[in-house]
Amino acid sequence: MEDEQEQRLAERFADILDGQATAGLSAGDIREHYPDLAGELEALSDIDRAVDPEALPERLSGHRILSVIGRGGMGRVLLAEDEALRRRVAIKMLAPQYADRPALRTRFMAEARAMARLNHPNVVRIYSLGPASEPPHFVMEHLDGVPLTRAGAALTFEQRAEMVLKVVETVHFLHGKGVIHRDLKPQNVLVGPDLEPKLLDFGLILDLGDQKRLSRPGEIAGTPEYLSPEQAAGGEALDARSDVFSLGAVLYELLTGQPPFRAAAIADLLRIIREEDPVLPRRHVPEIPRALQNVCLKALEKDPARRYASAADMAGDLRRYLAGEAVYAEPAAYSRLIAGKVGEHLRELEGWRRDQIVSEAEYDGLRRRYDRLLERDDAWIMEARRLTLPQVTLYLGAWVLAVGAALLTFFRYPALAGSPAVLTAWAAALPAGWIGFDSWRRERHRVAVAWLLAFCLLAPIATLVTLEEFHLFTGLTMGQARLELFHRLHVAKQATNAQLWWSILAGIPVCWWIRRFTGASVFTLLSAVFGALLALATLVRMGMLDWLENDPGRIYFRLIPCAAIFMTAGLLLERRGRTDDSRYFYPFAVAFTWAALSGLAAFHEPYARWLKGVAPWTRGQLEYLFILNAGVYFLLDRACDRMGSGQVRMVGKSFRFVIPGHVMTSLLLLGVDAQTPAETKLLAWLLPAAACVFVFASIPRQMKNFFATGLLFFAIGVARLQHEVFHDRAVWPVLLLAAGLSLMAAAANYAALRVNLTRAVKALWR
C-alpha cells in the first residue's frame, strides 16, 4: 500500500521533472498543485539555483516573480506581481555575479536614486529599493508598451515628430536636473497605446552635479549604434549635447527605420560614428519632410558645437516643424556632402585638364562654377540654394523697413517733425540691429543676416534723418543751392550734399564691422555699394551737377580715379588672401572703367581735341576714340593677365570682352560716315578684314564672343562691300562662294595641306 503510494508519487515527480505536468505553470503553482511533493520540489529548485547562473529568485520585495522581460549588461528586468495590490511591476535586478562588485553596486544604486529624483510623466517611476537581505534590485512601474521605433512605423511624420518632441522635452528635463542619460536608444523609450513615450533604463546616467562618473573613465558605455562621437572616442568630458546626438540617432531611426550608423564589427562602427556623415534620411525614404531631415542632421553633427546647444533648442525646432514654421537648423552636413563630391569632381577635372580633354578656358569656367557651388554657404538670400516663403518674406520686410525709413529723409510729415522723425528712424534701426546680433549669437544665421542687412540700410538713413532734423552739415556745395542734389529733386526735405556724404560714410564702417563679426560676405558687397555711392556723392560735392550741364566729359574723367580706387582695393584684399571680399570690388572697378572710357570718348572734349591734334585725318571723330578705347582695354587686359590671380584675370576678360564690339561698330559707323570715296572704299574693306581677324583671334584666348561678333560683322562687311565696291557685279557673290568652298575644303584637309605646303616652301628655299 505504501509502496504503491510511493510509486504513484514517484511517477508524478518524474512527470514534473520531465516537464510533462508543468507546462505553463510556475514553480509556485506546481507546489500548490502537488503539496505532497513540496519538499522535494523545493530541493530541486535548490539544485537549480546552485548550478544555474540565471536562476530566478521566487520573490523579491514581496513580489511574485513571473518572467524575464529584458536583460542588459548589468542584470535583468523581471516582470513581477504585487499580489496584495494585484498590480504588475517591473523589477530590475543586478546580476548575482556582480552583486559583490562595489563599483557596479554603486552604479546600480545611483540609477535607483536618480529615478527617484526624476519625477516626470514621461519617465518611468520607481516604487522601492530592495531590502539589503535580498539580491540587489529595485521595483518600478511596469510599462505595457513597445519600443519607440516599432510604435513609430505606422504613424505619420507629424505623429512621429510629436513623439520625439516629448522624448526630447523629457531629456531636457533630465538635463535640467543635472543628469545626462548617455544610453538613449529606441529600446529605452517605450510607447504605450496612448502614444505617450516613457523613458527608462537610467543605468548609464552621468550625474553632472556630483561630477561623479558612474562608469570607469575611458570605458565606453552605451549601446554602440546610438553613441555620440565623443562617447565613441572615449575619455572626453560629456555634456548634454552628447544626449542631443543620441536623440538625433533615435529620430533618424524613427524616420528611416534604421540606425544612422551601422557596421559589422564594433571597431568599425565606432570609427564610422566618429568620422562619417550619415546617409541623408531622404535617400532612404524620399517622403521625409526636409525640415525633419534638417533637425535630424543638425543633432547628428560630429562637432558638439555645431549641434543644437541643448535639447530645448532641438525641441524648439520640432515644435516649429509641427506648427508649420521653418525650422532653424541648417545642417553643415549638406555643405560637407557637396564639398566632398565637388572635391572629387575637381580632382577629376584637374586630370582632364592635364590630359587636354578640356581646354584651359573650359577648365577655368567649370572650376569657377564649382567654386561658386562651394562658396554658396552664405546665409544671404541671394546665395541660398533654395528660396523659401519665410525667407522671402523676411527680406521683403527688411526692404519695406528700409524704404519706409527712406521716406523720412525725403518728405516732411507735420506729425513727425524734428526729434520724433529722428526717434522713429532710430526706433526702426536699433532694434533691427539688436535682433540681428542676438539671432546671430543663437546661430539663427539666416534670420540674423536679414536683420543685420536691414540694420546696415537703416543706419545711414537714420543718420541722414538725424543730420537733417538737427541741422548739422548744412553748408551748401560751393555755396550754391543749384549744386545740391536734393534741391533739384523738388522734394520737401532738402538734405545737403554734405549730409548725404557723411551719412553714407557712416554706413561703411558699420558694414565692414558686421562683415568681420559675422563673416558673411554680403556685407562686403554692401560696403562696396556704399563705397560706390560715396564716390558719386564726392563727385556731387565737387560740383558734378554743374559739369552735367556744361561739361559732362569732366564727370567721366573723374570716374577714372574711382575705378582705380576700387581696383586697388580689390588687389589689396586679394593679395591678403581675402578673395571673398575682393570679388565684390572688381565688378565696380570694371563698371567704373567702362563708364569712364565710354563717357570720355563720347563727351570729353580735350580727348577729342588731342586726337585731332595728333592725327588730323581722324577729325577727332568719336568712333576713332572708341577704337582707341579698345586699344586701352587690350592693354588693361594684358596688364591684368600679368597679375596672375584668378579674379584679376576675370577682370581682364571683361575688358577683353568688349573689344570686338568697340572696334567693328566704330569701323561700320566710320564707313557710313566716310567723307571721301577712297575713305569709303578703305573702310568697306577694313570692316570684313577686321571681322576675319577677330574670328581667328578667338583661338588663342578661347573668346567665343570674338568669333560670333566677327561672323556677324563679316556679313555686314560683305553687304557694305556689295553696296560700296561691287555694286551690280556678279563676280562678288561668285567669288564669295568660291572662297567659302575653298576655305571649307582647305580646313577639312588641313593636315595634308599643311604637309604639302611645308614641302613646297622647303623646296623653294633650296
Partner 1 sequence: MENPTSTFALLEHARAGDPQALSAAFEKHRRRLAVLIHYKLSPQARHGAEVEDLVQETLLRGFRDIGRFHYQSPGSLLRWLSSIADHVIVDRLRYQGRDRRAGQQVPFRSASNPNGPEPTDSATPSRLFAQQEAVERLLARLDRLPEDYRQAILMTKIEGLSTAEMAQRTGRSREAAALLVYRAVKRFRAISDASEP
Stretch that binds partner 1, among 96-104, 210-218, 234-242, 330-338 (CB under 8 A): 96-104
Stretch that binds partner 1, among 41-49, 365-373, 509-517, 661-669 (CB under 8 A): 41-49
Q: With binding defined as CB under 8 A, does residue 68 bind partner 1?
A: yes
Q: With binding defined as CB under 8 A, does residue 23 bind partner 1?
A: no
**395: CB partners within 8 A, 6+ apart:** 381, 450, 453
Q: With binding defined as CB under 8 A, does residue 10 bind partner 1?
A: yes
Q: Is the Cα dihedral 573, 579, 585, 589 positive or negative? A: positive
Q: With binding defined as CB under 8 A, does residue 51 bind partner 1?
A: yes
End-to-end CA distance of the chain: give it in Å, rounded.
143
| Minimum distance, C-beta of residue 103 to partner 1, in the bound complex (Å) | 13
Q: With binding defined as CB under 8 A, does residue 39 bind partner 1?
A: yes
| Minimum distance, C-beta of residue 51 to partner 1, in the bound complex (Å) | 4
**What order of strands is seen across the sheet that includes strand 189-191?**
146-147, 189-191, 197-199
Q: What are phi and psi of 95, to 5 degrees?
A: -55, 135
Choose which of 17, 361, 734, 744 interacts with partner 1 (CB under 8 A): 17
Q: With binding defined as CB under 8 A, does residue 677 bind partner 1?
A: no
Choose which of 5, 14, 348, 385 interacts with partner 1 (CB under 8 A): 14
β-bridge partners, 76: 71, 93
Helix, strand, or coil (residue 326)? coil
β-bridge partners, 87: 82
Catalytic residue among 15, 36, 183, 581: 183
- CA distance linking residue 649 with residue 637, whole number of Å: 8
Contacts with partner 1: how many residues (CB under 8 A)? Answer: 30
- CA distance linking residue 434 with residue 529, whole number of Å: 23
| Minimum distance, C-beta of residue 257 to partner 1, in the bound complex (Å) | 20
Q: With binding defined as CB under 8 A, does residue 150 bind partner 1?
A: no
Q: With binding defined as CB under 8 A, does residue 737 bind partner 1?
A: no
Q: How crowded is residue 288: how many other Cβ atoms within 10 Å of its Cβ?
A: 19
Q: With binding defined as CB under 8 A, does residue 53 bind partner 1?
A: yes
Nearer to partner 1, 80 or 628 (CB): 80
Q: With binding defined as CB under 8 A, does residue 87 bind partner 1?
A: no
Q: Is 183 an annotated catalytic residue?
A: yes
| Triad 448, 453, 455: Cα angle to 5° | 95
| Residue closest to 708 by CA, chosen among 643, 660, 744, 759 | 660
Q: With binding defined as CB under 8 A, does residue 97 bind partner 1?
A: yes
Helix, strand, or coil (residue 197)? strand
| Minimum distance, C-beta of residue 17 to partner 1, in the bound complex (Å) | 6
- CA distance linking residue 253 with residue 133, whole number of Å: 42
| Minimum distance, C-beta of residue 265 to partner 1, in the bound complex (Å) | 6
Q: How crowded is residue 660: how many other Cβ atoms within 10 Å of its Cβ?
A: 26
String marking each residue 256-275 x if it binds partner 1 according to CB under 8 A: ---------x-x--------
| Minimum distance, C-beta of residue 219 to partner 1, in the bound complex (Å) | 14
Q: With binding defined as CB under 8 A, does residue 103 bind partner 1?
A: no
Choose which of 47, 472, 725, 738 interacts with partner 1 (CB under 8 A): 47
Choose which of 1, 2, 4, 18 interacts with partner 1 (CB under 8 A): 18
Looking at 234-332, list the stretches that DSSP marks H as alpha helix, in order from N- to C-terminal side: 240-256, 266-275, 281-284, 290-299, 311-322
Contact 122, 197 (CB under 8 A): yes
Q: With binding defined as CB under 8 A, does residue 576 bind partner 1?
A: no
| Triad 47, 50, 56: Cα angle to 5° | 90
Contact 666, 702 (CB under 8 A): no
| Residue closest to 674 by CA, chosen among 662, 661, 687 | 687
| Minimum distance, C-beta of residue 222 to partner 1, in the bound complex (Å) | 17
| Residue closest to 317 by CA, chosen among 307, 326, 306, 309 | 326
Choose which of 29, 36, 43, 480 interacts with partner 1 (CB under 8 A): 43
Nearer to partner 1, 66 or 326 (CB): 66
Local structure of residue 302 (DSSP, 8 states): S
Q: With binding defined as CB under 8 A, does residue 361 bind partner 1?
A: no
Stretch that binds partner 1, among 1-9, 255-263, 428-436, 586-594 (CB under 8 A): 1-9
Question: Taking CB under 8 A as the criterion, which residues in 412-431 touch partner 1?
Answer: none
- CA distance linking residue 264 with residue 253, whole number of Å: 18
Stretch that binds partner 1, among 39-47, 499-507, 631-639, 730-738 (CB under 8 A): 39-47
Stretch that binds partner 1, among 36-44, 542-550, 612-620, 739-747 (CB under 8 A): 36-44
Nearer to partner 1, 54 or 360 (CB): 54
Stretch that binds partner 1, among 11-19, 232-240, 273-281, 720-728 (CB under 8 A): 11-19
Q: With binding defined as CB under 8 A, does residue 4 bind partner 1?
A: no
Helix axes 704-724, 659-672, angle to 10 degrees: 10
Stretch that binds partner 1, among 49-57, 171-179, 304-312, 468-476 (CB under 8 A): 49-57
User: How many residues make up the chain in this entry?
Assistant: 766
| Minimum distance, C-beta of residue 96 to partner 1, in the bound complex (Å) | 6
Q: With binding defined as CB under 8 A, does residue 54 bind partner 1?
A: yes
Local structure of residue 123 (DSSP, 8 states): B
Nearer to partner 1, 10 or 741 (CB): 10
Nearer to partner 1, 97 or 119 (CB): 97
Nearer to partner 1, 43 or 699 (CB): 43
Nearer to partner 1, 45 or 702 (CB): 45
Stretch that binds partner 1, among 50-58, 365-373, 479-487, 545-553 (CB under 8 A): 50-58
In 142-176, which positions are buried (b, 16+ CB within 10 angstroms) versus exposed (e)? bbebbbbbebbeeeebeebbbbbbbbbbbbbbbbe
Query: What dihedral do alpha carbons 719, 724, 728, 732 form, nearest 10°?
Result: -60
**279: CB partners within 8 A, 6+ apart:** 260
| Residue closest to 75 by CA, chosen among 39, 112, 116 | 112
DSSP string, 671-731: HHT--SHHHHHHHHHHHHHHHHHHHHHHHHHT-HHHHHHHHHHHHHHHHHHHHHTSTT-TH
- CA distance linking residue 438 with residue 451, whole number of Å: 10
Q: How crowded is residue 721: how many other Cβ atoms within 10 Å of its Cβ?
A: 19
Nearer to partner 1, 232 or 608 (CB): 232
Stretch that binds partner 1, among 92-100, 206-214, 448-456, 747-755 (CB under 8 A): 92-100
| Minimum distance, C-beta of residue 232 to partner 1, in the bound complex (Å) | 15
Choose which of 32, 36, 52, 348 interacts with partner 1 (CB under 8 A): 52
| Minimum distance, C-beta of residue 57 to partner 1, in the bound complex (Å) | 13
Active site residues: 183
Which residues in this chain contact partner 1 in the complex, by CB under 8 A? 6-7, 9-11, 13-14, 17-18, 39-40, 42-44, 46-54, 68, 71, 96-97, 100, 265, 267
